[in-house]
Structure formats: C-alpha cells, structure tokens
Amino acid sequence: MTRDEILAMPSGREMDVLIAKKLDLFRKHPKQGDYFLTENHIHIGYVPQFSTDISAAWEVVDKFYSMTLDKYSDGSEWRVYLVTERDGKNVDAHAVADTAALAICRAALLAVMK
C-alpha cells in the first residue's frame, strides 16, 4: 500500500485486520466486538476494533517506542506521531484523522510499511 492509500483508508474491519496482521495483535480469546479471523479454514485469532475503539487502539500504541497524540486547536482532527526502532534505527510516522483511534492506526501502518 502507498502512503496516500493508508492516509485515505477509513476505519473498519479491513484496517483492523491489516493492523492485526502487520503488528501481530491477534487475541486468543474474544472480547465484545472482536472479529473471528480465519485463513484457508484455519483459525488465526480474534481481531479487536483498533480503528474505532480507543481502548483497542492503545494495544497498537504499546507496540511502539513512543507516541504523541494531540488535537488540532480548532478541534477538527487528531494527529499522532509514533516512533519505533527497526534494525537499530528509529522509524517514525505521523497521521491525522477525525478520531484518535483512526489516527493511531494510520500512523502505525505507515511506520510498519516504511
């Protein structure tokens, strides 16, 4: 996926599954609202609603070294800045969205796709 595709991606099941796969964030036991995911008839795990539930989005944040989250002064959008380490180097990404959960997910995908 390109940067533009990630930044345009809406919240929802497709993004949640992509986050779970890229960050290995499957749950073994379901919580309310989790998706049951299978591939080739093999149970993979349960996928939280990362892009719409802020409590699930914090699981995404835990995979990163640091995070800054704030809201634009006019209250229109959330922006997030994530930093992680890969191969001994810092990798950072930032994104904006209408909700904090979606901004976190977009930034996380950008960071892991770099």
State mean pLDDT over 94-109. Answer: 93
Q: Check whether 101 has a pLDDT greater than 70.
A: yes
Q: Are 30 and 81 in contact (CB under 8 A)?
A: no
State mean pLDDT over 53-78. Answer: 86
Residue 80: CA count within 13 A, CB half-sphere: 26
3-113 fold = Bacillus phage protein (3.30.2120)
User: What are the structure tokens assigned to 24, written together?
Assistant: 């290995």
CA distance 105 to 47: 13
Q: pLDDT at position 45, please? A: 92
What share of the chain in percent tops pLDDT 90?
A: 53
Q: pLDDT at position 81, please? A: 87
Q: What is the pTM of this model?
A: 0.86
Which tens digits make up the pLDDT trace of 16-55?
A: 999 999 999 999 888 988 989 888 888 889 999 999 999 9
